Amino acid sequence: MSNEENVKKSVESAKTIVSNQVAAFMGLKEKNPKAFYGILVALILPILILMMSGGESNSVSGPSIKELAVGQKYVLKSPNTVDPSGTVRLVPVPGTLAAYDDSEEADRNAPCQHMTQGTPVEVMEFSDFSGKRKMFVKVKVVDGECKDKDGWVLAIDVQ
């Protein structure tokens, strides 16, 4: 007997067993409805409890802001992008990151505004925002063509 024949017989016998069990269970509905519905509740209730009990955590997981120190050297890396050619924007005032409009050609091509990821920087000072401590970081570029250029970035972009 080949493996295919064994598999076919196993599948057929499994189908027969399952159909017999379903028929017996459905017959229980006619003979003893309390037991039938009790079994259904016993099977479905734990599944419902598991589905409803998830998500009780009040915290949202994601990238965390590491404890930065003035004078220490770090690199710019945005946790919100997987594109290696993505940039991190340096702005002159903390809190203006969400307000900038780079639709102007001059703004997009301005030197030393969009720093490549991995650019080495040194932390100079911090700014709090919306009740969060050290939300913005003033950094100075340590190396490259924009050396000694400073600006503000989100603390999460400094790693």
pLDDT tens by residue, 2-15: 788 888 888 899 99
Is 85 buried (19+), middle (13-18) or exposed (0-12) by CB count in 10 A? exposed
pLDDT tens digit sequence for 66-117 = 788 898 999 988 887 888 788 888 888 887 765 555 555 555 566 788 888 8
Dist. CA 132–CA 99, nearest whole Å: 19
pTM score, whole prediction = 0.55
CA distances from 37 to 17, 24, 30 (A): 22, 14, 11
The domain locations on the chain are 3-53, 73-157
| φ/ψ of residue 127, rounded to 5 | -140, 135
